[in-house]
Amino acid sequence: MSPVHLVDQRIRELKALRGRIDREIQRLEQGDAGGRLREAEVAALTTRKPLPAPAPHPPSSAELRAWARERGIEVPERGRVRQEIRDLYYQAQREGA
């Protein structure tokens, strides 16, 4: 999943969270004792998942092909680079290779 999609997903999660918090605040202000959150719900509402660090820039097809060839991976001269090659590239970047 690309960093942009992760950010969009996180924004949707935070908007949903904000709605739940607003509803809970409203219930509490109205004195609804039945609306109290359990500890697990509070933890779920307040726990933040760290976003992965974005890549400095996505590699060009030429960079991916050169990287793959240096490692003995066959890639075509033209056309789209297979997702499998992209996945291997990103995995190697995470591992520092």
Quick: pLDDT tens for 52-83: 776 677 889 999 999 999 999 999 999 999 99
- Whether the per-residue pLDDT at 85 is higher than 90: the answer is yes
With respect to residue 54, please indicate whether it lies within any of the assigned structural domains: no
With respect to residue 51, please indicate whether it lies within any of the assigned structural domains: no
Number of domains in the chain: 2
Range of the domain at 32: 3-46
Instruction: Report yes or no: 81 and 61 within 8 Å, Cβ to Cβ.
Output: yes
Judge if 65 and 41 occupy the same domain: no
Amino acid 93: pLDDT: 86
pTM of whole model > 0.75?
no
∠45-6-43 over CA atoms, to 5°? 15
Judge if 38 and 13 occupy the same domain: yes
Residue 86 sits in a domain of what CATH number? 4.10.320
With respect to residue 25, please indicate whether it lies within any of the assigned structural domains: yes
Judge if 10 and 42 occupy the same domain: yes
Amino acid 65: pLDDT: 95
